[in-house]
Amino acid sequence: MQFTLFEAVIWSLVIVLAIIIVILIFYLKILRRNIRVKEKNNIKYREKIEKLLIEYIYAEEEGELLSKKQKTIIKQFKKGLVSKRKRIIITETFLQLDQQVAGHMIEQMNSLYKKIGLLNYAIKKLRSKQWHIVAIGIKDLRHFKVKRVRNSISKLINHHREEVRREAHLYFIELFGFEGLNFLDNLKVPLSEWDQILLLGEVENFEYDETLDLKKWLESNNDYVVLFVLNIVKLFNRLETKDTLIDLLQHKNAEIRIKTIDIITHFEILEAKEFIIQRFSEISDKEKVAFFKYLEKVAEIEDAMFLIEHLNNNNFEIKHRALKILKRVDVNLYNKLEKNSEDAEYNRIIDYLDVSYGV
């Protein structure tokens, strides 16, 4: 009797599954057809909207605020906004053109954006419960340079979702330039490398603001703010931060120390040399390697003794650079070196240096 129960269970499951699969087959066909049809419609509508937008821009007439043609076009846009799918296409079309053209057209587009009511939709997005909708809302408002929502967005600077706060940071920088960077004062959350890349991408479009107090941020409690501002120091060649940089060589965060060495190398700040040489045995391997990159730029003949000490360092990169630098600053001493030591790597490096730069 046990088996017959099994059988009953098995066969009922089989029938249930079979029905589900038949439904799925039909659903798949319908789904694919719908996707195909939707894509075709989207392409058609997109072409229509692109044309409409261009016509609007060129339908401007002297003296009038809005020509008759423009008014008709606005009506057509408004009709489309009701459908979410069409709204997305309209927004995307606007955005596509937004970054590419300059001058009077941008103003035209921004005012059109407000006139057809797209702005309201974007503002509504800010209040959505779904984080990615909020982020998209901020992005739209940023692209259309809507300054009046500044206060709502400043509340989102420390949002728990990185995508949302990233958009908020970008909003402030793009719309308010360096003044927008003041959000760094209150930043309690990390800035990932990705964040920094996006932010720097915006920041580099601006003329540097001399009144900016970078020192304040370089001394921030938030290590990520320090790292980010170090990038700005490098990007805009802010040599006046030199003293703060030397202080940062002793920061407790290793990444900050290494980045500082990188900037000191970029600026060729000589004062750091002695400072680091004195502490050389205490610093980490990565910092040592970074330091030798620095030495490559600023080493002079009096550093030869220091270099000799490190010719047999375990680390290949340090060995390589030490030899390379020695050859440059004190070629006589270099030539007096033992060419065939027990260290195979050492020999290889010497060979290479002699061959590639000519003995």
Residues that bind another protein (CB under 8 A): 3, 6-7, 10-11, 13-14, 17-18, 20-21, 24-25, 28-29, 31-32, 35-36, 39, 46, 50-51, 53-54, 57-58, 93, 96-97, 99-103, 105-106, 132, 135-136, 139, 162-163, 190-194, 196-198, 200-201, 204-205, 224, 231, 235, 316-317, 320, 345, 348-349, 352, 355-356
d(CA 134, CA 140) in angstroms, rounded, equals: 10
Note whether 261 and 253 are within 8 A (CB).
Answer: no
Question: Nearer to another protein by C-beta: 125 or 273?
Answer: 125
State the minimum distance, in angstroms, from the CB of residue 49 to another protein. 9
DSSP string spanning 30-98? HHHHHHHHHHHHHHHHHHHHHHHHHHHHHT--SS-SS-HHHHHHHHHHHHHHTSHHHHHHHHHHHHHHH
Q: Which two tokens stand for residue 65?
A: 């605020």
Question: Nearer to another protein by C-beta: 273 or 295?
Answer: 295
State the minimum distance, in angstroms, from the CB of residue 310 to another protein. 16
Chain Cα centroid distance, residue 185:
20
HSE-CB of 272 using CA atoms within 13 angstroms: 27
State the minimum distance, in angstroms, from the CB of residue 271 to another protein. 25
Cα dist. 307→298, 302, 321 in Å? 13, 10, 9
Question: Nearer to another protein by C-beta: 162 or 219?
Answer: 162
Question: Nearer to another protein by C-beta: 63 or 103?
Answer: 103
Question: Nearer to another protein by C-beta: 109 or 276?
Answer: 109
d(CA 11, CA 221) in angstroms, rounded, equals: 67
Question: Nearer to another protein by C-beta: 227 or 273?
Answer: 227
DSSP string spanning 234-290? HHTT-GGGHHHHHHHTT-S-HHHHHHHHHHHHHHT-THHHHHHHHTGGGS-HHHHHH
Question: Nearer to another protein by C-beta: 257 or 324?
Answer: 324
State the minimum distance, in angstroms, from the CB of residue 30 to another protein. 10
State the minimum distance, in angstroms, from the CB of residue 261 to another protein. 16
State the minimum distance, in angstroms, from the CB of residue 268 to another protein. 18
State the minimum distance, in angstroms, from the CB of residue 122 to another protein. 13
Cα dist. 16→8, 19, 24, 105 in Å? 12, 5, 12, 61
Question: Nearer to another protein by C-beta: 23 or 301?
Answer: 23
State the minimum distance, in angstroms, from the CB of residue 330 to another protein. 21
3-state SS string over 285-316?
Answer: HHHHHHHHHHHHHHCCHHHHHHHHHCCCCCCH
